[in-house]
Amino acid sequence: MTLFRLRRALALLLTAAALPFVVRAAAGEGLPTRGPIAPYLMPDRQAETALARSAAPPSIAAKAEVLVLTSHGFETAVKGTNGFVCLVERSWSAPFNDTEFWNPKERGPDCYNPPAVRTEIPQLLREAQWALAGLSRQQMADRTKAAFADRSFKPPEPSAFGFMLSKRGYLNHAHGPWYPHVMFFIPRGQVASWGPNVDNSPTQSVGRGPYLSTLVMVPVLTWSDGSPAPH
């Protein structure tokens, strides 16, 4: 498959995109409110560590910090040395109006570079704590707005990005792991300079509301283990 055809496939899929790490399936799996905590967790800590590391090339993931989700939030399972942080995102990383916001099946391996660790990881950690504590999505949205207002949440730093190269994630039942890609975190006012969502551009953007950073995604042709992505 040519890169152009991959771009076209990505563009078609992204017309339904909502989650940072998912292209929406035709039939949703989300719940109206958060269900029991257990289905959102992975009982095997080593399996979650391995899944998180599969987001990035092994040369990076092997030296990254790894976070795993517990009933109270994310905690460090492996300390890193290169400044990257890998984890498996859950469905509440979606925009607050997303129908899959409480989908307990979703698993999105992601590995953040040091600039993204400084701005995006604190948001992910807090969102997980709120979700697991039983807050509604409206309560989470209100707290997100307040966190940006008091600057405890900050806009993305230049060059902040995450690897999403895992073939083992579950982003939805229609598309499985979707396509491997690099995901840049961009302030809303700077998105146009990346040239996304236009004919023959390799970049596609997905907004996440008025406060969170916009995602600019660039597809790649291989998974983190070096094998070719399906065409």
In a domain, 38, yes or no: yes
Angle at Cα 157 formed by Cα 83 and Cα 6, nearest 5°? 85
Provide the residue range defining the domain that includes 116.
3-219
CB distance 4 to 77 below 8 Å: no
d(CA 111, CA 61) in angstroms, rounded, equals 8
| Residue 15 pLDDT | 39
In a domain, 129, yes or no: yes
d(CA 144, CA 158) in angstroms, rounded, equals 21
Question: Which helix (H) or strand (E) segment is 184 a member of?
Answer: strand 181-186
d(CA 194, CA 182) in angstroms, rounded, equals 14
Structure tokens that stand for 143 in this block: 């707290």
Q: What is the pTM of this model?
A: 0.85
* Domain count for the chain: 1
In a domain, 228, yes or no: no
Q: What is the pLDDT along the chain (231 residues), one digit of tens a residue?
A: 333 333 333 433 443 343 344 344 445 677 888 989 999 999 999 999 999 999 999 999 999 999 999 999 999 999 999 999 999 999 999 888 888 899 999 999 999 999 999 999 999 999 999 999 999 999 999 999 999 999 999 999 999 999 999 999 987 655 566 789 999 999 988 999 999 999 999 888 888 888 889 999 999 999 999 999 876
In a domain, 226, yes or no: no
Structure tokens that stand for 74 in this block: 């994310």
In a domain, 61, yes or no: yes
Strands 85-89 and 65-70: parallel
In a domain, 166, yes or no: yes
In a domain, 197, yes or no: yes
| Residue 178 pLDDT | 74
| Residue 174 pLDDT | 55
In a domain, 97, yes or no: yes
